[in-house]
Chain A
Amino acid sequence: MIIGTAKETYRADEALLTTRPQQVWMAVLLAGLAVLPFTFNAYWTYLACLVLINVIAATGLNVLTGFTGLVSLGHAAFMAIGAYTVAWLERDIGTPLLLNLLAGGLLAAGIGVIVGLPSLRVKGLYLAIATIAASFILHFVFVEWTAVTGGSAGISLQPGTVFGVALVDYTQLYWLIMPICVLMVTGAANLFRNRIGRAFIAIRDRDISAEVLGIPILRYKLMSFALASFYAGVAGGLWAYFFRVVTPESFPLLTSIFLLAAVIVGGMGTILGGVIGALFMTLVPELLRFGVELLGPVIPNAGLILSPVRTIVFGALIVGFLVFEPQGLTEIVQRIRRFFRLWPFRT
Chain B
Amino acid sequence: MPEARGATLEVDNVTLAFGGLKVLRGVSFAAQAGSVTALIGPNGAGKTSMFNCISGFYRPSAGTVRLDGQDISRVKASSRAALGMARSFQNIALFRGMTVLDNIKLGRHAHLRTNLLQGLLHLGPAAREEEALRAEIERKIIDFLEIDHIRNKPVAMLSYGLQKRVELARALAMQPRILLLDEPVAGMNREETEDMARFILDVKDEWGVTILMVEHDMGLVMDISDHVAVLNFGAKIAEGRPEEVQNDPHVAEAYLGSGDPAALMRRLHAEESAA
Q: Are B130 and A190 in contact (CB under 8 A)?
A: no
Q: Are A14 and B130 in contact (CB under 8 A)?
A: yes
Q: Are B119 and A190 in contact (CB under 8 A)?
A: yes
Q: Are A227 and B130 in contact (CB under 8 A)?
A: no
Q: Are A205 and B131 in contact (CB under 8 A)?
A: no
At the interface, yes or no: B220 with Cβ under 8 Å from chain A? no
Rounded to whole angstroms, the CA-CA distance of A5 and B81 in the bound complex is 36
Rounded to whole angstroms, the CA-CA distance of A339 and B122 in the bound complex is 31
> Distance in Å from the Cβ of B156 to the closest Cβ of chain A?
11
Chain B 224-242, CB-CB to A under 8 Å as 1, else 0, gives 0000000000000000000
Q: Are A214 and B96 in contact (CB under 8 A)?
A: no
| B80 to A, closest residue via Cβ | A214
> Distance in Å from the Cβ of A44 to the closest Cβ of chain B?
30
Q: Which residues of chain A from 175 to 195 have a CB within 8 Å of any chain B CB? A: 187-188, 190-191, 193-195
| B56 to A, closest residue via Cβ | A211
Q: Are A10 and B109 in contact (CB under 8 A)?
A: no
At the interface, yes or no: A143 with Cβ under 8 Å from chain B? no
* Main SS class of interface, B: helix
Q: Are A194 and B106 in contact (CB under 8 A)?
A: no
What size tier do the contact residues of chain A reach?
A: 20 to 34
| B85 to A, closest residue via Cβ | A212
Rounded to whole angstroms, the CA-CA distance of A199 and B80 in the bound complex is 16
Residues of chain B within 8 A of A211, CB atoms compared: 57, 77-78
With A198-B106, A214-B80: A191-B93 Cβ-Cβ less than 8 Å = no
At the interface, yes or no: A209 with Cβ under 8 Å from chain B? yes
Stretch at the interface among A215-223, A291-299, A330-338: A215-223
Q: Are A198 and B78 in contact (CB under 8 A)?
A: no
Q: Are A10 and B106 in contact (CB under 8 A)?
A: no
Report which of A191, A193, A199 forms a contact with B109, defined as CB distance below 8 A: A199
Interface size of B by CB at 8 A reads 44
Chain A 1-19, CB-CB to B under 8 Å as 1, else 0, gives 0000000001101101000
Most chain B CB atoms below 10 A, which of A187, A193, A202, A211: A211
Rounded to whole angstroms, the CA-CA distance of A227 and B94 in the bound complex is 26
Rounded to whole angstroms, the CA-CA distance of A214 and B122 in the bound complex is 22
Q: Are A14 and B114 in contact (CB under 8 A)?
A: no
Rounded to whole angstroms, the CA-CA distance of A210 and B81 in the bound complex is 10
At the interface, yes or no: B58 with Cβ under 8 Å from chain A? no
Q: Are A212 and B114 in contact (CB under 8 A)?
A: no
Q: Are A195 and B57 in contact (CB under 8 A)?
A: no
Rounded to whole angstroms, the CA-CA distance of A317 and B115 in the bound complex is 40
* Main SS class of interface, A: helix
With A212-B87, A214-B79: A194-B119 Cβ-Cβ less than 8 Å = yes
| B89 to A, closest residue via Cβ | A209
Residues of chain B within 8 A of A10, CB atoms compared: 131, 134-135, 138
Residues of chain A within 8 A of B122, CB atoms compared: 16, 190-191, 193-194
With A197-B119, A205-B96: A212-B81 Cβ-Cβ less than 8 Å = yes
At the interface, yes or no: A323 with Cβ under 8 Å from chain B? no
- For the complex with contacts A195-B109, A214-B78, 15 further pairs of A-B residues with Cβ separation under 8 Å are A10-B131, A11-B131, A13-B134, A194-B126, A196-B114, A201-B97, A205-B95, A205-B97, A209-B95, A210-B78, A212-B78, A212-B86, A213-B110, A214-B79, A227-B116
Report which A residues bind B (CB closer than 8 A): 10-11, 13-14, 16, 187-188, 190-191, 193-199, 201-202, 205-206, 208-217, 223, 227
Q: Can you list 29 A-B contacts (CB < 8 A)?
A: A10-B134, A11-B131, A13-B134, A14-B130, A193-B122, A194-B118, A194-B119, A194-B129, A196-B115, A197-B119, A198-B102, A201-B95, A201-B97, A201-B98, A206-B95, A208-B57, A209-B93, A210-B106, A211-B77, A211-B78, A212-B80, A212-B81, A213-B110, A213-B174, A214-B82, A215-B106, A216-B76, A216-B78, A227-B116
List of 10 A-B pairs having minimum Cβ-Cβ separation, nearest first: A214-B81, A214-B110, A196-B119, A190-B122, A187-B120, A209-B93, A10-B134, A195-B112, A205-B95, A211-B78
